[in-house]
């Protein structure tokens, strides 16, 4: 491809100059578009020979890439040559716009999802009850993560021996999951209908209708400042386990 | 074009000698009806509903004659169409007696047309330029914009599927194998409830169509008993009203005045 | 740039109009570069509000994005609007060059596709309404598949007795099918006009009965068995109109 620039010398002779120039122009634009799309869609830098293999025969890849490089040079995204390959990269002077989000989004663990769902459906719910439903102990870190996410809160204390703390969800929880109110959570039939629950469930199986309000249940006491301090002491932070 | 549906049932004429009845390829009675309607080769708004009803009923009767088990939906539709047919053909005996055959036919044609429209829409949708097939994203993204305030990512679907899977896992699965009955009370009730959707506020003599298409002659006694018991229960709940003018005369049904009761049920 | 509270009021006063215009121009270019970089760097669509939050105060995001969109329209990579977001995607006419073997698009069953279309055109729609349209129960797993693909979501609950859950489509759905917004759904207007998106039969929807037996006058005889056979056998006149 190096050297002879005329893509299709035979044809040019047949046409008059202006038309030939127009056709050339259109061909060049098309080749540029193809090269651009190829480099954009590729996960790795794309070799020049690969680009050439996708272009019409006789296209001058080196020239096309140089032209593209010049085209993108003043823009927010630049076309860079890395060895014999090409890649798009954010313009170096703009890296600050792209890189400020160093706090990456973390995926919630399976355990955390389960605990969160139980709290959402069964609130007000104590830790013992959560464990009863899940059938496994809940590690400290799981609840911490949910608290940190701002989706779970202390609601109050159950008026039973030991006065266990009850958990509930927050306004942020509703916002994040696009719910208007807790009652929007799908019920048994709807979970079944959506294929999330299979048909093989016992007749007495129930999905609770979550209490939608902030009002405390009859057997709940409000959380006091004292409780909070106590709880703060009881929950050693750190040791994120999940 | 991506074929949505291999239309391998096209040659299956209903008047052929060796009639092959296979409803496996159909997605319910409306789908079957739509298929039959297409065989009429006219625009759906000019379709002969009567001919369509005939064809459908013939189809179902053939299936029954060679003892193919049909889902209840197909039979309910057959019953309804038989009723529609009688409405279209026979001058109405009672003046105050519910929708005319024409209204019922129009309702059916509307449903067919709507289903076909959705099917066409699906085809057009699936043949658009699709991401990952025709159109591509940046292959080497340099960052993911964090737009949510939360540092954690989870969708409602994630949440619900986690919950459902968990509860399912821990549900005590005691499998009771029910004795197979031809017409349990629950069956009868479900079928009645489905027919109820087709009913209006006017009296409708639907029961004998129901019995004709839903049962073998030998099961008729149990079917009558079950559906009658089920209808009484629905009357008690206000979902249904029944009327009979004399012994052995047809039983008329109509929608009850009270809305269906909520799931609370009262009992514990 | 509203009012005199521009970022550098002192400087503006010192400069004459031409220079101010030049500065404005440079600011606009810079904003464009930033917006470009932000969207280009991400595989997912980026919301306009996020872009705005990263631009200098007072920048007209909508205008910037429209300008960028026009700029990229003839190129191999296009800037597309998807709901409230923007994304760069390869030009659709170049699919033949970019395609590789790995590019697999999720194959949907006919039922799932139908349900998806119904949800798209009728949203917010309840499961009962979907089943009414299809005339058949939605089998387990159909909605599940669509939700897992990220195309369908629980929207909320209908304010009717029983408060059924409603379904709708997602931004990913728009993105996947190359739609800017729901109004771009193919044929939406015609379907609406024909009354096919409402639950009720439109007033103008009339089905002419075969052979005019809908107006069975007193001087007419009811249809006989012979007629019936004829009806069953004969396809009504009229040519294929689909």
pLDDT tens digits for range A21-69: 888 888 888 999 999 999 999 988 999 999 999 998 888 999 999 999 9
Per CB-CB distance under 8 Å, the chain A contacts of B155 are 177
User: Average pLDDT of A138-148?
Assistant: 87
When comparing pLDDT for C17 and C222, which is higher?
C17
Contact A115, A129 (CB under 8 A): no
Amino acid B7: pLDDT: 40
pLDDT tens for C39-60 read: 999 888 999 999 998 898 888 9
In this prediction, residues B218-233 reach a mean pLDDT of 75
Distance from CA of C223 to the nearest CA of B (A): 6
CA distance C7 to chain A (A): 20
More confident residue, C145 or B254: C145
**Using the beta-carbon criterion (under 8 Å), do A120 and B159 form an inter-chain contact?**
yes
| pLDDT number for residue B124 | 92
Over range A7-18, report the average pLDDT.
Answer: 56
Query: How many CB atoms within 10 Å of residue B155?
Result: 17
pLDDT at C3: 41
| Tokens 């009730």 -> residue | B189
Indicate yes or no: CB of A190 within 8 angstroms of CB of C165: yes
Of the candidates C183, C219, C175, C143, which has an alpha carbon nearest to the alpha carbon of residue C42?
Answer: C175
Q: For residue B49, what are the contacts with CB-CB under 8 A and spacing of at least 6?
A: B84, B88, B105, B108, B109, C207, C209, C210
* Per-residue pLDDT at A74 exceeds 50: yes
- Which chain B residues have a beta carbon less than 8 Å from that of C104? 132
Contacts of A64 in chain C (CB under 8 A): none
CB atoms B151 and A101 under 8 Å: no
Give the mean model confidence (pLDDT) for residues C160-185.
Answer: 91
Averaged pLDDT of chain A: 81
> Which chain A residues have a beta carbon less than 8 Å from that of B151?
103, 105-106, 148-149
Give the pLDDT of residue C85. 94
Q: Which residue of B has its CA nearest to A36?
A: B138
CA distances from B214 to B73, B79, B87, B190 (A): 10, 8, 19, 13
Residues of chain A with Cβ-Cβ distance to C154 below 8 Å are 178, 184, 186, 194
Phi then psi for residue C165, to 5 deg, are -70, 140
Q: What's the pLDDT at A34?
A: 95
Going by CATH, does the domain composed of C2-96 fall within 1.10.10.10?
yes
Query: Within its chain, how far is the Cα of A242 from the centroid?
Result: 19
CA A222 to chain centre: 37
User: B166 and A134 in contact by Cβ < 8 A?
Assistant: yes
Structure tokens at A8: 């299709």
Report the mean per-residue pLDDT for chain B.
73
CA dist C44 to C78, C92, C93, C122, C175, Å? 14, 17, 21, 26, 9
Min Cα distance C4 → chain A (Å) is 27
Residues in chain A closer than 8 A to B136 (CB atoms): 37, 40-41
Residue C81: what pLDDT? 95
CB atoms within 10 A of CB C84: 13
Write b or e for each residue in A131-147: b if 16 or more Cβ atoms lie within 10 A of its Cβ, otherwise e: eebbeeebbbbbbbbbb
pLDDT at res. C227: 39
- Chain B residue numbers with beta carbons less than 8 Å from the beta carbon of A110 are 162
pLDDT confidence band for C141 (50 / 70 / 90): confident
- Side by side, the strands of the sheet bearing A46-47 are A46-47, A85-90, A77-82
CB atoms within 10 A of CB C38: 24
CB contact under 8 A, C187 and B120: yes
pLDDT of residue C183: 92
Chain C residues with beta carbon closer than 8 angstroms to that of B46: 207-208, 236, 238
Most confident of A45-59, B56-70, B238-252: A45-59
pLDDT exceeds 80 at position B71: no
Closest alpha carbon to A156 in A65, A217, A235? A217
Band (pLDDT 50/70/90 cuts) for residue B87 is confident
CB contact under 8 A, C116 and B58: no
Cα C78 from Cα C91, distance rounded (Å): 6
Across the interface, of A75, A94, A195, the residue whose CB is closest to C141 is A195
pTM of the model: 0.70
Q: Which residues contact B67 (CB under 8 A, 6 or more apart)?
A: none
- What is the DSSP secondary-structure string of A18-70? HHHHHHHHHHHHHHHHHHHHHHHH-SSPEEHHHHHHHSPTT--HHHHHHHHHH
Average confidence score pLDDT of chain C = 77
Q: How confident is the model at residue C176 (pLDDT cuts 50, 70, 90)?
A: very high
Beta-carbon contacts of residue A235 (< 8 Å; ≥ 6 apart): A140, A143, A144
Answer whether B87's CB lies under 8 Å from B209's CB. no
Q: Which residues of B touch C185 (CB under 8 A)?
A: 121, 125
Which CATH code is given to the segment(s) C110-230?
Answer: 1.10.10.10
Q: Looking at residue B221, what DSSP letter applies?
A: H
Distance CA B163, CA A119 (A): 10
A13-27, A124-138, C188-202: the lowest-pLDDT one: A13-27
Q: To the nearest whole angstrom, how far is the Cα of A137 from the nearest Cα of chain B?
A: 14
On chain A, the residues whose CB falls within 8 A of the CB of B143 are: 98-99, 101
- What integer pLDDT is reported at residue C90 of this predicted model? 94
Residue A7 has pLDDT above 60, yes or no: no
- Distance separating alpha carbons of residues A126 and B91, to the nearest angstrom: 68
* 3-state SS string for chain C: CCCCCCCCHHHHHHCCHHHHHHHHHHHHHHHHHHHHHHHHHCCCCEEHHHHHHHCCCCCCHHHHHHHHHHHHCCCCEEEEEECCEEEEEECHHHHHHHCCCCCCCCCCCHHHHHHHHHHHHHCCEEHHHHHHHHCCCCCCCHHHHHHHCCCEEEEEECCCCCCCEEEEECHHHHHHCCCCCHHHCCCHHHHHHCCCCCCCCCCCCCCCCHHHHHHCCCCCCCCCHHHHHHHHHCCCCCCCCC
**B199: confidence class by pLDDT, cuts 50, 70, 90:** low
pLDDT band at B218 (very low <50, low <70, confident <90, very high): low
Contacts of A199 in chain C (CB under 8 A): 140
Ranges for all domains in chain C classified under CATH 1.10.10.10: 2-96, 110-230
Other chains touching C, judged by 3 or more CB pairs under 8 Å: A, B
Compare all CA atoms of chain A with the CA of C137 and give the residue at the minimum distance: A193
Q: Does C76 contact A35 at a Cβ distance shorter than 8 Å?
A: yes
Whether residues B107 and C201 touch (CB distance < 8 A) is answered with yes
| pLDDT above 60 for C6 | no
Q: What is the pLDDT of residue A5?
A: 45
Task: Write the residue in C103, C121, C239 that is nearest to B121 by C-beta.
Answer: C121
The per-residue pLDDT for C213 is 35
Candidate from A127-131, B216-220, C111-115 with smallest mean pLDDT = B216-220
Q: Report the gap between the CA of A95 and the closest CA in chain C (Å).
A: 9
A73 pLDDT band, cuts 50/70/90, is very high
Q: Which residues of A touch C (CB under 8 A)?
A: 29, 32-38, 40-41, 54, 75-77, 88, 90-91, 94, 97-98, 178-180, 183-184, 186-187, 190, 192-196, 198-199
Question: A176 vs chain B: nearest CA distance in angstroms?
Answer: 8
Whole-angstrom Cα distance, residue B220 to residue B72? Answer: 15
From the list C33, C98, C165, which residue is nearest A91 (CB)?
Answer: C33
Closest-CA residue of C relative to A36 is: C76
When pLDDT is cut at 50, 70 and 90, the band that residue B115 belongs to is: very high
Nearest Cβ partner for A37 among C34, C74, C94: C94
**Contact (CB<8Å) B173/A200:** yes
């Amino acid at each position: 491809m190096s050297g002879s620039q005329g893509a299709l010398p035979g044809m040019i002779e047949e046409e008059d100059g202006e038309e030939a120039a127009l056709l050339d122009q259109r061909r060049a634009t098309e080749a540029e578009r193809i090269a651009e799309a190829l480099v954009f869609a590729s996960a790795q830098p794309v070799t020049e020979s690969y680009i050439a293999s996708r272009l019409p025969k006789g296209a001058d890849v080196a020239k096309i890439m140089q032209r593209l490089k010049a085209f993108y040079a003043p823009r927010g995204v630049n076309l860079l040559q890395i060895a014999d390959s090409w890649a798009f990269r954010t313009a170096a002077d703009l890296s600050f716009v792209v890189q400020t989000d160093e706090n990456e989004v973390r995926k919630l663990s399976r355990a955390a999802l389960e605990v969160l769902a139980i709290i959402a459906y069964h609130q007000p719910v104590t830790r013992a009850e959560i464990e009863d439903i899940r059938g496994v102990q809940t590690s400290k870190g799981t609840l911490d993560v949910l608290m940190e996410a701002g989706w779970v809160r202390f609601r109050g204390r159950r008026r039973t021996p030991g006065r266990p703390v009850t958990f509930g969800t927050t306004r942020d929880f509703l916002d994040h999951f696009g719910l208007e109110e807790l009652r929007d959570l799908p019920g048994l039939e709807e979970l079944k209908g959506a294929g999330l629950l299979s048909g093989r469930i016992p007749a007495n199986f129930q999905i609770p209708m979550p209490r939608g309000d902030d009002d405390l249940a009859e057997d709940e006491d409000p959380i006091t400042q004292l409780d909070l301090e106590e709880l703060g002491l009881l929950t050693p932070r750190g040791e994120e386990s999940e | 074009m991506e074929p949505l549906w291999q239309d391998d049932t096209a040659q299956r004429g209903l008047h052929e000698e060796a009639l092959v009845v296979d409803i496996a390829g159909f997605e319910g009675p409306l789908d079957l009806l739509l298929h039959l309607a297409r065989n009429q080769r006219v625009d759906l708004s000019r379709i002969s509903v009567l001919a369509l009803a005939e064809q459908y009923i013939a189809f179902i009767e053939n299936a029954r004659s060679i003892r193919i088990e049909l889902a209840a939906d197909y039979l309910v539709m057959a019953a309804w169409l038989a009723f529609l047919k009688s409405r279209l053909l026979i001058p109405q005996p009672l003046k105050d007696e519910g929708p005319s055959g024409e209204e019922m036919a129009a309702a059916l044609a509307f449903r067919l047309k709507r289903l076909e429209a959705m099917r066409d829409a699906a085809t057009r949708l699936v043949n658009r330029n699709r991401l990952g097939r025709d159109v591509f994203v940046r292959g080497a993204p340099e960052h993911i914009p964090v737009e949510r305030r939360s540092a954690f990512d989870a969708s409602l679907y994630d949440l619900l599927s986690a919950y459902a899977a968990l509860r399912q896992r821990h549900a005590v699965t005691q499998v009771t194998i029910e004795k197979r009955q031809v017409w349990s009370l629950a069956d009868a009730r479900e079928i009645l409830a489905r027919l109820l959707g087709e009913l209006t506020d006017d009296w409708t003599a639907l029961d004998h169509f129901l019995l004709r298409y839903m049962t073998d002659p030998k099961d008729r006694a149990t079917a009558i008993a079950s559906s009658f018991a089920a209808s009484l229960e629905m009357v008690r709940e206000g979902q249904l009203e029944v009327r009979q003018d004399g012994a052995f005369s047809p039983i008329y049904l109509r929608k009850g005045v009270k809305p269906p009761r909520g799931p609370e049920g009262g009992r514990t």
